[in-house]
């Protein structure tokens, strides 16, 4: 038995930096989603991409820089989705929320990502805290505006409280996300959201 695991010395596949950086961010997002930020090692991300940890740190100088890039990417994607769903105004916008559950179900890794990171974002000092705070603020502002449009247009009862409805709907989404992971047998997120929105519309629309 000669050399143990010869491993075909240095089969390097060199890639343009931008493409490699994208690949790293995608992989990191996937691993963060299952093991969290602290629970994911730089080496693990690098191995999944097919390079070494030192190789990865050539693209992102520190682990925190990688986190920042992942959060930026995530924010970008999330904002696009929010915009798409909340494009219609007023009550139609609210009706459109029924589709949100399907969006969530189609991207389970995305669900894990936010759960995994939310815990590490509790201490107010962290980058993560800022990220989550910003995300909530944006989402709530969009939703509240949509409710308010409906009220102003006379489609929604004037006694409906946009702040309350917004809080509850966002809470529903976050809570269902958790159940997706922990309830045995799985929770039909899309069904739950659709039914909730149906009941919501029935309750708030002007007859």
Q: Which residues bind a copy of itself (CB under 8 A)?
A: 33-36, 38-39, 112, 115-123, 129, 132-133, 135-137, 140, 161, 164, 167-168, 170-176, 178-179, 181-184, 187, 191-192, 195-196, 199, 203
Shortest distance (Å) from residue 49 CB to a copy of itself: 21
Contact call for residues 101 and 191 (beta carbons, < 8 A): yes
Structure tokens at 97: 């929320």
User: Which of DNA, a copy of itself, none sits in contact with 72, Cβ below 5 to 8 A by type?
Assistant: none
> Which is closer to DNA, CB of 22 or CB of 155?
22
* C-alpha triplet 171, 176, 179: angle, nearest 5°: 130
Contact call for residues 79 and 138 (beta carbons, < 8 A): yes
Contact with DNA (CB under 7 A) among 34, 54, 84, 203:
54
Q: Provide the mask over 105-144, with x wherever binding to DNA is found by CB under 7 A and - wherever it is not.
A: ----------------------------------------
> Which is closer to a copy of itself, CB of 62 or CB of 179?
179
Q: In the 8-state DSSP scheme, what is residue 125?
A: T
Whole-angstrom CA distances from 17 to 37, 55, 58, 82, 117 are 23, 11, 10, 30, 27
Report the C-alpha gap between 126 and 118 in whole angstroms.
Answer: 11
User: Which of DNA, a copy of itself, none sits in contact with 122, Cβ below 5 to 8 A by type?
Assistant: a copy of itself
> Which is closer to DNA, CB of 68 or CB of 192?
68
Coil, helix or strand at residue 128: helix
CA atoms within 13 A on the CB side of 41: 6
Residues that bind DNA (CB under 7 A): 10, 12-17, 20, 40-43, 46, 50-55, 57-59, 61-64
């Amino acid at each position: 038995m000669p050399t143990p695991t010869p491993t075909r010395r240095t089969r390097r596949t060199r890639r343009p930096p931008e493409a490699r950086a994208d690949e790293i961010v995608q992989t990191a997002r996937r691993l963060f989603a299952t093991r969290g930020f602290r629970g994911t090692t730089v080496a693990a991300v690098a191995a999944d991409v097919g390079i070494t940890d030192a190789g990865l740190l050539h693209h992102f100088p520190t682990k925190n820089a990688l986190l920042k890039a992942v959060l930026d990417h995530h924010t970008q994607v999330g904002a696009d989705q929010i915009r798409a769903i909340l494009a219609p105004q007023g009550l139609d916008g609210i009706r459109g929320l029924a589709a949100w559950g399907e969006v969530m179900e189609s991207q389970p890794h995305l669900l894990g990502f936010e759960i995994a990171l939310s815990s590490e974002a509790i201490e107010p000092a962290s980058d993560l805290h800022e990220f989550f705070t910003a995300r909530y603020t944006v989402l709530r502002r969009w939703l509240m505006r949509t409710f308010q449009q409906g009220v102003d247009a006379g489609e929604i009862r004037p006694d409906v409280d946009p702040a309350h409805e917004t809080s509850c709907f966002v809470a529903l989404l976050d809570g269902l996300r958790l159940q997706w992971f922990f309830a045995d047998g799985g929770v039909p997120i899309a069904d739950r959201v659709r039914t909730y929105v149906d009941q919501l519309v029935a309750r708030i629309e002007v007859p």
